Amino acid sequence: MPAPSITITAEPSGSVVARGASDDLSAMLLKHAGFQQIQDWYGRRHRLPTTTPPTDRAAIATHAAQMLRAARYDVGLAPTLDTTRLSTPANPLGPYTAGAEILRITDRIRAAESGPELQQAVDHLLHPEHGAVERVREALEAVYEQISDLDDAAYVLADRFGQAAEFVGMAQPELADYQDELHGVRAAQQFAPDTRAPSAQLPGSRSAALATSPAAGKTNVASPRSTEAPSIGPSAPQAPPSRTR
């Protein structure tokens, strides 16, 4: 015997109502999701409490529909209550679905917080067989071949696409070994901790202050005149000052 059909809809008043749960199992699942059972002259139905926040109504309705479907019930859920549809963003680039997918990959790259996470995102671009760059190269090559088949006189235009495909193909070997290097990006940026013992003579803060203090530099560097030994021998005669008449 097929399971009864259950519908979950939003009333004009804003309340969420489930109808068709005529057996105990479906009623129990709806109650578990947060619905309250109502029995009146319209029959048995279930409704979310009026105190349910509007932001939670769709999540509860979607959860109830998922449980009922898992129990092999046929469930009709209103699109305005289906969070799986609401969470799917519309294509920001309209009909350019390939560009929108590349845009999502770019967002993943910018949001990467580690080398392995960055490598996984870049892999969608540079995988040698299934990456986006390889698909672009194949598409440009297909344009070259298609123009050549359609119009022999358009060989100049065809060659431009053929050369573009070759340029992309020439760039791919430059990034052939990106996986291991990207995987270790974070580790390469980490510096080893300084294990040197602090000086026993001066505290660290005083050492840093003296290292950057001009006064400390003057006191540490002795004057050349003070370090030279005094001359013992006779000094060289000095020329007398010039006289003026």
pLDDT at residue number 153: 92
Query: For residues 162 and 154, what is the distance between their CA atoms, to the nearest angstrom?
Result: 12
Same domain for 103 and 72: no
Report helix, strand or coil for 76.
strand
| Same domain (yes/no): 80, 114 | no
Give the contacts of 47 (CB within 8 A, at least 6 positions apart): 15, 16, 17, 18, 35, 36, 38
Decide if pLDDT at 137 tops 60.
yes
Domain containing 28 — which CATH number?
A: 3.30.70
What mean pLDDT do residues 88-94 have? 64
Given a cut of 50, whether residue 25 has pLDDT beyond it is: yes
Based on the fold, state whether residues 79 and 103 are members of the same structural domain. Answer: no
Q: Can you give the length of the chain in residues?
A: 245
Q: Domain range holding 101?
A: 97-188
Is 232 a member of any domain?
no
Question: How many whole angstroms separate alpha carbon 76 and alpha carbon 62?
Answer: 10
> Is the confidence at residue 196, as pLDDT, over 90?
no
Average pLDDT on 159-178 reads 90
| Helices 97-111/115-126 angle, 10° precision | 160
Task: Please state whether the predicted TM-score (pTM) of the whole model is above 0.75.
Answer: no
- Has residue 45 been placed in a domain? yes
Q: Would you say residue 109 lies in a domain?
A: yes
Question: Average pLDDT, stretch 205-229?
Answer: 46
- Determine, yes or no, domain membership for 91: no
205 within a domain of the structure (yes/no): no
- Same-domain pairing of 133 and 172: yes
Nearest to 52 by CA among 87, 16, 21: 16
Residue that is last in its domain, among 20, 53, 86: 86
Sheet containing 36-40: order of strands = 36-40, 43-47, 16-19, 5-10, 74-77
Establish if 129 belongs to a structural domain: yes
Please give the angle made by the CA atoms of 119, 130 and 121, to the nearest 5 degrees: 20
Tell whether the torsion through CA atoms of 195, 196, 202 and 206 is positive or negative: negative
pLDDT band with cut points at 50, 70 and 90 for residue 87: low
d(CA 183, CA 174): 17
| pLDDT for 208 | 46
DSSP state of 196: P
Confidence band for 89, pLDDT divided at 50, 70 and 90 = low
How many structural domains are present in the chain?
Answer: 2
Per-residue pLDDT tens digits for 26-65: 999 999 999 999 887 777 889 998 888 887 888 999 999 9
* Higher pLDDT among residues 95 and 108, named by residue: 108
